[in-house]
Every structure is written in structure tokens, then in C-alpha cells.
């Protein structure tokens, strides 16, 4: 995991014009605002980690909560939206993980639906804090008690999905600051992934070894395989 020290910074989209796609359709984003965070740890890569194939099943809210229940004894929890934004944009507030302002399709996996290689295949797809493989699939996040302003109608109380995917035509903005949500009765979406965070002191070598054991015994390319095996 990558250890991120406590801090504060102005993070989010700073240009209202960026809330629209080229054809004039609106997209949704976290707006620039002061954010503060406690020290945290975050997986360098999306779950299940570098070297594994991207999961072939999607996540919806009920399935996410089942997966979180599997991971909790292993010292892992859902990241907050602020934690994901800090990890992807950095305190520098980059619009894309790999560049302050410029989109570069060559830096990350180009097809979020049918990836060409395992997680971690694009070392250039790295944020200022060296957290990898943002900009491929967006990440589920559990809202913290500290609210953040989002340009998003009907945002639920508990969860948001933060970030961009490889495609550029989504209803959430194609940048680190893109944000969207799904209601509990919606289907699973392949481009909604998860990466786990940890609170310092709540994860150690025992939990890491238990996760390796779980993956060796149970993971067959889907989130569901871990839920069913546990």
C-alpha cells in the first residue's frame, strides 16, 4: 500500500466549462474546494492488484457491500471520495493522473471493457503520488462525515463513484474529478471498480498474508468468486 500523510489542499475541477462535453452535453464532477484528510493508506493498484486480470464481473451497491464485508477483517475498507481524489490528483490538483491538464490516451489501458493486459501493465499510468491505473475504471467510494461539493443531481448519502474511465463519452466528466452514482436496484457495471484504503495501524503483515491466502484459494477473475468463497 501507499502511505499518504495528512494534509489539505484545494482539489477539484476549476473550470465550469469543463463540466460539458465537446457536443454540449453536461457531465458531473467534484468542484474545486478545500479538502482536508487524515493520514491513510491506499492500494497502489485497483483491486485485485498488479499482475491480476481485471475482474470480468461488475459491481453494484449490494455486491460492493458484500465485498467490503469480506475485506474488513483484512484491514481494508472503502476509500472516501477525498482519499481517491488526493491519490489520483495529488495535492497539486492534476486534472489527469499523469498530467496537470492534458489528456493522453497512450498512458493508461485504452479499453476499460476489454483490457489488453493485466492490472499494472501501463507503468506510465501513475498519479503524482505514484498510485497507478486511475483513468481506466472509476472507483466506488464511501462518503466520509466531511461533505464535499459535487455537481451531481440526486447524490446518495453513503456512496459515490469517483474518477474517469477509458471512454470519453460518459455522463460523468472524463477526468480525476468525474463523479457519478448508482442506486441499489441498478445492475452491475463493469467500469465501476474498487480500490481499498486502510487506516494506519489497522493493517499489518498478518492481514496482508491473509489477503494473499484468500486470493490464492478463491480468486478466479471475478469479485463474486471472493464473495462466494469466503
Grid cell for residue 14:
476549476
Assign residue 157 a region (left: φ > 0; alpha: ψ between -120 and 50; beta: otherwise). alpha
Q: Return the closest-CA partner of residue 38 out of 1, 69, 79, 71.
A: 79
Give the torsion sign (CA, 126, 127, 131, 134): negative
Grid cell for residue 76:
481494508
Q: Which residue segments constitute the domains of the chain, with CATH numbers given?
A: 2-229 (3.90.1580)
Say which residues have a Cβ less than 8 Å from residue 29's Cβ, sequence separation at least 6.
12, 13, 18, 19, 150, 151, 172, 173, 175, 177, 178, 179
Q: pLDDT by residue for the chain (230 residues), tens digit each? A: 999 999 999 999 988 766 766 566 678 888 899 999 999 999 999 999 999 999 999 999 999 999 999 999 999 999 999 999 999 999 999 999 999 999 998 999 999 999 999 999 999 999 999 999 999 999 999 987 666 666 555 555 578 899 999 887 787 888 999 988 888 889 999 999 999 999 999 999 999 999 999 999 999 999 999 999 96
Amino acid at each position: 500500500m501507499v502511505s499518504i500523510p495528512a494534509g489539505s489542499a484545494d482539489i477539484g475541477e476549476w473550470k465550469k466549462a469543463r463540466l460539458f462535453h465537446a457536443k454540449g452535453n453536461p457531465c458531473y464532477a467534484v468542484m474545486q474546494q478545500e479538502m482536508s484528510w487524515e493520514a491513510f493508506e491506499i492500494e497502489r493498484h485497483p483491486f485485485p492488484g498488479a499482475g491480476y486480470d481485471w475482474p470480468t464481473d461488475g459491481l453494484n451497491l449490494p455486491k460492493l457491500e458484500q465485498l467490503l464485508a469480506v475485506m474488513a477483517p483484512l484491514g481494508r475498507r472503502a476509500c472516501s471520495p477525498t482519499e481517491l481524489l488526493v491519490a489520483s490528483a495529488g495535492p497539486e490538483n492534476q486534472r489527469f493522473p499523469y498530467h496537470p491538464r492534458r489528456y493522453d490516451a497512450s498512458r493508461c489501458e485504452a479499453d476499460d471493457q476489454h483490457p489488453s493486459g493485466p492490472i499494472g501493465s501501463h507503468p506510465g499510468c501513475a498519479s503524482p503520488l505514484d498510485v497507478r491505473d486511475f483513468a481506466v475504471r472509476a472507483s466506488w467510494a464511501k462518503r466520509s462525515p466531511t461533505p464535499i461539493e459535487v455537481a451531481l443531481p440526486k447524490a446518495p448519502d453513503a456512496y459515490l463513484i469517483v474518477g474517469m474511465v477509458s471512454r470519453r463519452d460518459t455522463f460523468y466528466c472524463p477526468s480525476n474529478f468525474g463523479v457519478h452514482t448508482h442506486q441499489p436496484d441498478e445492475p452491475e457495471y463493469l467500469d465501476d471498480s474498487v480500490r481499498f484504503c486502510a487506516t494506519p495501524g489497522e493493517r499489518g503483515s498478518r492481514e496482508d498474508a491473509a489477503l494473499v491466502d484468500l486470493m490464492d484459494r478463491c480468486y478466479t477473475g471475478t469479485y463474486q468468486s471472493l464473495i462466494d468463497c469466503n
